[in-house]
Amino acid sequence: MRYIIGVDVGGTKISCALSDLSGNIIETQVVETNASEGESAVLSRIIRLIDKVMIDRDITKEDVKAIGIGAPGPLDARLGIIIEPANLPFTNFDLVTPIKEKFNIPVYLDNDANAAAIGEFMFGAGAGTENMIYITVSTGIGGGAILNGQVYRGRTTNALEVGHTTVDPFSSARCNCGNLGCLEALSSGTAIARRAKDAVLSNIDTSLKKYKTLTSYEVFKEAEKGDKVAISIRDNALRYLGIGVTNIINTFDPDIVVIGGGVSKAGEVVFEKVREVVNERGLKTMTSGCKIVPAQLGTDAWVIGAVALAILLI
Amino acid sequence: MRYIIGVDVGGTKISCALSDLSGNIIETQVVETNASEGESAVLSRIIRLIDKVMIDRDITKEDVKAIGIGAPGPLDARLGIIIEPANLPFTNFDLVTPIKEKFNIPVYLDNDANAAAIGEFMFGAGAGTENMIYITVSTGIGGGAILNGQVYRGRTTNALEVGHTTVDPFSSARCNCGNLGCLEALSSGTAIARRAKDAVLSNIDTSLKKYKTLTSYEVFKEAEKGDKVAISIRDNALRYLGIGVTNIINTFDPDIVVIGGGVSKAGEVVFEKVREVVNERGLKTMTSGCKIVPAQLGTDAWVIGAVALAILLI
């Protein structure tokens, strides 16, 4: 039993990685989720992908020690049940049992952001720390925590929904969760893109007009080039992100805050602005020694996280 | 060694309790802090009070297993050093060593809100839970956390400064920490009193006018009687408190949030309003099973917390 399998089940794609027991990735394969086909189709697709990775590498299930699965929340990590994520067809669906029965291998499920946090803690930016908060700033904003050197999951295993903390109660920005003024509604890639589209529609003078599709990527690009509207949208989102990170530091007093996800890939400008707000608003005792750094695991972070989850729990 | 001593060092008074090893309080004594007299005077006063409690109960230091001390932060619980609290004369002061040397008994120091959290976890509203957040809403707002059944302190042992999380970045309410829009600046007893004084000074029609001194107590009292200005001040503060508690639940996914401190003593109205906001803003997965309850340990909470701290660590 020299191998670990990690699976990341996302709304658009399913990734499967084979690694050794130290987390070195040997093989990664990706298929479309095709979520609209429903739960049994997606489940079959996950199982076939795991099978294919083993077959392609000439490995039998007896060689695999554990399977880790990361999936979007809300879910119940203890029971292995996916509750009702926005982008997957599973509703109160036991994802662990059929996979465990099929392969006769221990299967561990966790929130994808938790898995990514474990990945960064074991193999990435958080290695060697005791108290690490990971946040992912992408289409949504999620998080995971390692506290006192252990994964912290909370009562329902859904802790660290920092995207749904209110950072501006009088904002008119509506969040997916139904609220106004959530961090996710103000700082996520989706929020940045929405404001960019609104700006273009309002006929304001901006270089963002030239794009047919607008994501946070174009906003960061045009801001970098000096477009005032893009700068304002970017800085507004990063200011709120800075407030979110300040609140995290004043609450958790962590060694390190690791920021991953698409928006973090915009580079140093993100970290500069966030640190600026943290220095302005945070309590010095805690902020002065707390690192705020980019995630290290790159585009495979989620599936590496699923591998890390399994390694942690075996 | 059948006894524990707990000491709460506050800005106005020092309390000392003698308990058995199960936390049953046998004796409590209180003296003025007289903080203005400086650090060595206050240190002597603490030592004399511990001495007096033992003498009055005819106990020698050989009968005492440990001394727990709660004091305002920021402090370093691991090193036993009080860093620079607002209301005490200690600056980077090692409070533990002189007391340990004087009595030759193990001495444990922690943040007073952490100590109160441990007290509620061991003997109060949080007994039997795994993940408990305690917040105290009084002149300031502080907190403590028990996570995975263990005290969580963070890197510098100053975690859970939830009073200094931003809940309204555009508020003009200035916090003691220097920021605008901190929870403490909007929901603490001091914040409520400040708004009441402003209302009276503005010559608005309110029954609050009849008081010479205004604290949150009078605001809650007049609100209860129907004074519109008092109701507005009260509800505004409790709304922000509700946002703070929502953020705590969405972040920690706790079993229970225990609210103590002077403002919580205003009773059911506090919990009603807080739960209302939590139900409106929180994520159902986490909020639906999370209890929000008053602290149980009453006026002695802090010194009982200091006792609990010592019992936890012996």
Q: Which of A158, A254, A282 sits opposite B155 (nearest CB)?
A: A254
This model of the complex carries an ipTM of 0.95
Distance from CA of A32 to the nearest CA of B (A): 28
Whether residue B98 is found in the same domain as residue B149 = no
Residues of A in contact with B251 (CB under 8 A): 159-162, 165, 248, 251
Residues A220-273 pLDDT 10s: 999 999 999 999 999 999 999 999 999 999 999 999 999 999 999 998 999 999
Q: Which of A148, A160, A283 sits opposite B161 (nearest CB)?
A: A283
Q: Which residues contact A176 (CB under 8 A, 6 or more apart)?
A: A86, A140, A184, A185
8 Å CB contact between A84 and A92: yes
Whether residue B290 is found in the same domain as residue B304 = no
Q: What would the two tokens of residue A269 be?
A: 């400008």
Residue B36, pLDDT score = 93
8 Å CB contact between B309 and B9: no
Closest Cα partner for B174 from B163, B162, B184, B161? Answer: B184
To the nearest 10°, report the CA torsion of B212, B216, B219, B220: -140
Distance from CA of B176 to the nearest CA of A (A): 11
Q: What would the two tokens of residue B67 be?
A: 């001394």
Can you state the percent helix, strand and coil of chain A, rounding each to 5? 45, 25, 30
Report d(CA B92, CA B74) in Å as an integer: 10
Residues B214-242 pLDDT 10s: 999 999 999 999 999 999 999 999 999 99
Residue A85, pLDDT score = 87
Residue A87, pLDDT score = 82
Whether residue A104 is found in the same domain as residue A178 = no
Residues of A in contact with B131 (CB under 8 A): 154-155
* A123 falls within a domain: no
Whether residue B152 is found in the same domain as residue B214 = yes
8 Å CB contact between B71 and B63: no
Distance from CA of B212 to the nearest CA of A (A): 34
Residues of A in contact with B156 (CB under 8 A): 253, 285-286, 289
Whether residue A133 is found in the same domain as residue A253 = yes
Distance from CA of A4 to the nearest CA of B (A): 27
Q: Which of A83, A152, A247 sits opposite B285 (nearest CB)?
A: A83
Query: How far, CA to CA in Å, does A115 sit from each of A159, A228, B198?
Result: 13, 38, 50
Distance from CA of A246 to the nearest CA of B (A): 7
Q: What strand order describes the sheet that includes A13-20?
A: A25-32, A13-20, A3-9, A64-71, A107-111
Closest Cα partner for A278 from A257, A309, A307, A308? Answer: A257
Q: Which of B157, B162, B254 sits opposite A155 (nearest CB)?
A: B254
Is there a cis peptide before residue A74, judged by omega within 30 degrees of 0? Answer: yes
CB spacing of A254 vs B154 below 8 angstroms: yes
Query: How far, CA to CA in Å, does B74 sit from each of B94, B114, B177?
Result: 13, 12, 12
CB spacing of A243 vs B169 below 8 angstroms: yes
CB spacing of A161 vs B286 below 8 angstroms: yes
Residues A189-224 pLDDT 10s: 999 999 999 999 998 999 999 999 999 999 999 999
Residue B86, pLDDT score = 80
Query: Which position has the token pair 């009453």?
Result: B298
Report d(CA B237, CA B307) in Å as an integer: 32
CB spacing of A243 vs B286 below 8 angstroms: no
Q: Considering only alpha carbons, which residue of chain A is nearest residue B165?
A: A247
Q: Which domain holds residue B39?
A: 3-118+300-313
Residues of A in contact with B160 (CB under 8 A): 251, 253
Distance from CA of B269 to the nearest CA of A (A): 21
Residue type, B238: L
Q: Which of A83, A154, A280 sits opposite B131 (nearest CB)?
A: A154
Residues of B in contact with A289 (CB under 8 A): 155-156
Closest Cα partner for B176 from A273, A283, A65, A154? Answer: A283
Q: What strand order describes the sheet that includes B93-94?
A: B75-76, B81-82, B93-94
Report d(CA A142, CA A111) in Å as an integer: 10
Residues of A in contact with B74 (CB under 8 A): 283, 285
8 Å CB contact between A158 and B286: yes
**Per-residue H/E/C for A210-242:** HCCCCCHHHHHHHHHCCCHHHHHHHHHHHHHHH
Whether residue A160 is found in the same domain as residue A50 = no
Closest Cα partner for B53 from B78, B27, B34? Answer: B27
pLDDT above 90 (res A76):
yes
Residue A298, pLDDT score = 80
Residue A164, pLDDT score = 97
Residues of A in contact with B153 (CB under 8 A): 253
CB spacing of A283 vs B164 below 8 angstroms: yes
Closest Cα partner for B306 from B2, B6, B5, B4? Answer: B6
Distance from CA of B61 to the nearest CA of A (A): 34
Whether residue B276 is found in the same domain as residue B146 = yes
CB spacing of B253 vs A154 below 8 angstroms: yes
Q: What is the DSSP string of B176-234?
A: TTS-BSBHHHHHSHHHHHHHHHHHHHTT---GGGG-SS--HHHHHHHHHTT-HHHHHHH
Residues A158-176 pLDDT 10s: 999 999 999 999 999 999 8
- Give me the total of CB pairs closer than 8 Å, taking one residue from chain A and one from chain B: 139
Q: What would the two tokens of residue A299 be?
A: 């585009």
CB spacing of A160 vs B254 below 8 angstroms: no
Residue B272, pLDDT score = 98
Report d(CA A241, CA A238) in Å as an integer: 5
CA pseudo-torsion sign A177, A139, A173, A264: positive
What is the helix (H) or strand (E) element at residue A123, kind and residue range? Answer: helix A112-123
- Region of B267 on the Ramachandran plot (φ > 0 left; ψ -120 to 50 alpha; else beta): left
Residue B162, pLDDT score = 97
Residues A16-42 pLDDT 10s: 999 999 999 999 999 999 999 999 999
Closest Cα partner for A132 from A122, A148, A115, A145? Answer: A145
Residues B50-109 pLDDT 10s: 999 999 999 999 999 999 999 998 999 999 999 988 888 999 999 999 999 999 999 999
Whether residue A114 is found in the same domain as residue A220 = no
Residues of B in contact with A160 (CB under 8 A): 251, 253
Whether residue A132 is found in the same domain as residue A223 = yes
Question: What's the domain count of chain A?
Answer: 2
Q: Considering only alpha carbons, which residue of chain B is nearest residue A245?
A: B165
Report d(CA A306, CA A67) in Å as an integer: 8
Query: Which position has the token pair 């952001």?
Result: A113
Report d(CA B92, CA B89) in Å as an integer: 10
Q: Which residues contact B133 (CB under 8 A, 6 or more apart)?
A: B117, B143, B144, B145, B160, B248, B252, B254, B256, B257, B258
Distance from CA of B306 to the nearest CA of A (A): 22
Banded model confidence at residue A104, pLDDT cuts 50, 70, 90 = very high
CB spacing of B283 vs A150 below 8 angstroms: no
Whether residue B110 is found in the same domain as residue B133 = no
Closest Cα partner for A152 from B282, B145, B78, B278? Answer: B145
Distance from CA of B17 to the nearest CA of A (A): 30
CB spacing of B286 vs A254 below 8 angstroms: no
CB spacing of B283 vs A74 below 8 angstroms: yes
Q: Which of A147, A155, A176 to mutate to test the interface with B (most CBs of B within 10 A)?
A: A155
CATH number of the domain bearing residue A90: 3.30.420.40
Beta strands B81-82 and B93-94 are antiparallel
Residues of A in contact with B154 (CB under 8 A): 131, 252-254, 286
Whether residue A170 is found in the same domain as residue A276 = yes
Report d(CA B19, CA B59) in Å as an integer: 12
Whether residue B112 is found in the same domain as residue B174 = no
Residue B81, pLDDT score = 96
Residue B299, pLDDT score = 78
Query: How far, CA to CA in Å, does A297 sit from each of A189, A263, A266, B42?
Result: 19, 15, 15, 52
Q: What would the two tokens of residue A137 be?
A: 């700033």
Residue B255, pLDDT score = 98
Residues of A in contact with B255 (CB under 8 A): 155
